[in-house]
Amino acid sequence: MKGRRKGFIVIIMLTVALLVLSACGQGKPVEQQSGEKTASAALPPAPPIEKVKPLIQKGGCASCHTIPGIEGATAQVGPSFCDPAEEVQGGEVDVEFLRESILEPDKEIAKGFSAGIMPKNFGDIFTDEEIDTLVAFIANLKCE
């Protein structure tokens, strides 16, 4: 009789332990997943350069910016695209900042440069997807 009761208690304790463990187990991966999500959301995959070139051309970005990978893009009216690329890769800003820099250039002015020079119509001439492509391109630039 005593032995059976003991066994019963052991089973209950095991069940409780299992429940607690599975609850913890469920909690952890969710945390990890969301952590990974923010990390991968920070850097979208680099688009193929052939997709980027016509957009750079259309926006005339090269007439003001130095852009690695784009032939003849050595202008210095605005910052080199290496500047925001390094900021994103260093975690100082997120890709949303890049988006904003292109759509609302006067909202935050890059250090050492002036407001009112970069065109403000990129939200009109580019689709959302094209802006995403430009953002992903800049975010992945590898500069020394």
- List residues near ligand HEC by CB under 6 A: 59-61, 63-65, 77-79, 83-84, 98, 101-102, 105, 109-110, 113, 115, 117-119, 122, 134, 138
Q: Cα separation of 111 and 128, whole Å?
A: 27
CB of 100: closest distance to ligand HEC in angstroms?
9
Residue whose token pair is 């994103």: 88
The nearest distance, CB 139 to ligand HEC, in angstroms, is 10
Closest CA to 94 of 105, 85, 104, 107: 85
Minimum CB distance to ligand HEC, residue 119 (Å)? 5
* Residue in the block written with tokens 């350069």: 49
CB 43 within 8 A of CB 139: yes
Instruction: Rank residues 28 and 120 by Cβ distance to ligand HEC and give the closer one.
Output: 120
